[in-house]
Amino acid sequence: MSQGPGKAKRGIPSKEENFNEWYPFIVEAAELVDKRYPIKGMDVWRPYGWKTMKLIDALTHREMERTDHEEVNFPLLIPENLLDRENALVARLKRAREEGVDPDDLRDEEEEGGFKKEVYWVKHAGENELDIPMFLRPTSETAMYTMFPLWIRSHKDLPLKVYQMVNTFRYETKQTRSFIRVREIHFFEAHTAHADEADATRQIEQDLEIVDTIMHDLCLPVIKAKRPLWDTFPGAWYTIGIDAVMPNGRTLQVASCHHYQDQWAKAFDLTYENLDAQQQHCHQTTYGMSERLLGAVVGMHGDENGLIMPPAVAPFQVVVCPMIKKNSEVDTVAAAEELAAKLRRHGLRVKVDSRDIRAGQKYYDWEIKGVPLRLDLGPRDLAQGTAYAARRTGGKEPIPLDGIEEACLSILEEISEELRRRSHAHMNDVVQPLPPINLNDDTYVLEGEVKDGHIYELPFDGTDAHAETIERLTGFAFLGDSTDEYESERPCHMSGTPTRRRVLLAKTY
């Protein structure tokens, strides 16, 4: 692309050469957030960023409604004593795993759980010290499962499927990054209770289908991997992590689903009367996503000139720029407003930029904000009955004003397809087979090189010790078993046992 006067990058760091500088620069330059609020890891959402996030949330609301989840809203504060049940449960499950016994055979023990080290505490109100300390929710299992037993009596009350979109809090000690690692998190969490394990399993399948639908709208490919046991959410039977891949090859967990079986139900006395009038424990699941979805959108789709917003969540899908010429007899601003009104009637989100500034400055502003389609309207265009369309993904062409609404809808769909093509190509480039590991004189040796910027895949059916060896030799972490298995059996990378399990290794955010 030519570097016209408006195209000066004005200090935007190169995304290709230095993604780690580009990302924090662009989230502020595009006015998604302001990081100057005086608490580290707590950004101010500016109007453009918040609009984008709410459009992402709208996709989630749509899916929740389609799948009969109901929206609730729980208090932010959780009394410390409610956490005791959770901590006891987590400690017991951990011990059962370590000792290889059935967790039901172990008794709860007092133990300081991990969550207590990651939460913000409220121990004072006004001038008083509170009798029972409270903490800001890091997630709402404890709060919700305290109420579920009051709502569930019989099989008629099942499945119970609720969700909420709320602010959650983590006392992060690692380096914070907008959307990716923050201390106040804009969070979505769905919690369900079912009559049995099979119905809960079907819920997890539905969750993964919802993930696919939303990721299609965001034009992002993801990896869905059943996390290894040591990376499973405490209290879960299994966890499926959903990872986007960033330009630097690092994976970013943007969503996760947990199958709890009936462990939490046992800890929280959550039972129902089944058809045989017997009390039975529920089986539960959760499904969470967060503002990291926006982090992945920013990271994956942006380019050297700024953001590129996927049309499904672009606050403005089209920006109309009238060319303002002094002493011209043609009122391009009025024509632009009329065009915008027409497009809005067809459901498009449209902005008219009628500022009296250089065209180059306008182009720069909307490029950095990633508006997918720009329509320039000058006196000459109007005389020809056309608008000049510039796609944020590249390419310019005049399009007839007559029928322009249909043309815009198809161009936006083509832009979405182009973003999908690019992000899938990146994923394909990134994922590579892991070089062989051989045993030389009782020592495992990696017969090749692994490089940052890649994800490695391998057929794996080995032991935890094998996994540990792989992590040590590569410096990469197990994402887990991809839900997308090999089509036919292959020999395990370590043991040689034939397996269809496709395991992924990555550097993670």
CB closer to its own copies, 162 vs 282: 162
From residue 38 to residue 67, what is the string marking binding to its own copies with x (rule CB under 8 A)? xx--xxxxxx--xx--x-------------
Position 114, amino acid: G
Q: Which of 266, 218, 223, 220 is nearest to 241 (CA)?
A: 223
Q: Considering the rule CB under 8 A, would residue 74 count as an interface residue with its own copies?
A: yes
Q: Considering the rule CB under 8 A, would residue 230 count as an interface residue with its own copies?
A: no
Per the structure block, which two tokens stand in for 36?
Answer: 């100057």
Shortest gap between Cβ of 139 and its own copies (angstroms)?
16
CB closer to its own copies, 36 vs 326: 36
CB closer to its own copies, 325 vs 355: 355
Task: Report the C-alpha gap between 256 and 86 in whole angstroms.
Answer: 19
Question: How far, CA to CA in Å, does 113 sit from each of 86, 110, 235, 322?
Answer: 8, 9, 11, 60
Q: Considering the rule CB under 8 A, would residue 167 count as an interface residue with its own copies?
A: yes
Shortest gap between Cβ of 287 and its own copies (angstroms)?
17
Q: Which of 200, 245, 249, 205 is nearest to 226 (CA)?
A: 205
Q: Considering the rule CB under 8 A, would residue 275 count as an interface residue with its own copies?
A: no
Write down the residue that tokens 């119970």 correspond to: 160
CB closer to its own copies, 51 vs 266: 51
Stretch that binds its own copies, among 37-45, 83-91, 401-409, 418-426 (CB under 8 A): 37-45
Which of 2, 100, 105, 150 touches its own copies (CB under 8 A)?
A: 150
Task: Report the C-alpha gap between 188 and 290 in whole angstroms.
Answer: 6
Q: Considering the rule CB under 8 A, would residue 25 count as an interface residue with its own copies?
A: no
- In degrees, rounded to 5, the angle at the alpha carbon of residue 245 between the alpha carbons of residues 242 and 249 is 140
SS3 call for 281? strand
Task: Report the C-alpha gap between 136 and 166 in whole angstroms.
Answer: 11
Question: In this structure, is the dihedral angle defined by the CA atoms of residues 196, 199, 205 and 208, taken in order, positive or negative?
Answer: negative
CB closer to its own copies, 31 vs 304: 31
Stretch that binds its own copies, among 147-155, 211-219, 278-286, 401-409 (CB under 8 A): 147-155
CA-derived radius of gyration, the chain: 26
Task: Report the C-alpha gap between 240 and 233 in whole angstroms.
Answer: 9
256 in Cβ contact with 239 (< 8 Å): yes
Count residues near its own copies (CB under 8 A).
Answer: 50
Q: Looking only at Cα atoms, what is the longest distance across the chain? A: 87
Q: Considering the rule CB under 8 A, would residue 357 count as an interface residue with its own copies?
A: no
CB closer to its own copies, 117 vs 326: 117
Q: Considering the rule CB under 8 A, would residue 187 count as an interface residue with its own copies?
A: no
Q: Considering the rule CB under 8 A, would residue 73 count as an interface residue with its own copies?
A: yes
The DSSP H or E segment spanning 77 is: strand 77-79
Shortest gap between Cβ of 339 and its own copies (angstroms)?
21
Which of 10, 36, 107, 345 touches its own copies (CB under 8 A)?
A: 36
Which of 15, 92, 177, 186 touches its own copies (CB under 8 A)?
A: 186
Cβ–Cβ contacts within 10 Å for residue 398, how many? 14
From residue 109 to residue 138, what is the string marking binding to its own copies with x (rule CB under 8 A)? -------xxxxxxxxxxxx------x-x--
Chain contacts with its own copies (rule: CB under 8 A): 34, 36-39, 42-47, 50-51, 54, 70-77, 79, 82, 116-127, 134, 136, 143, 146-147, 150-151, 162, 167, 169, 171, 173, 184, 186
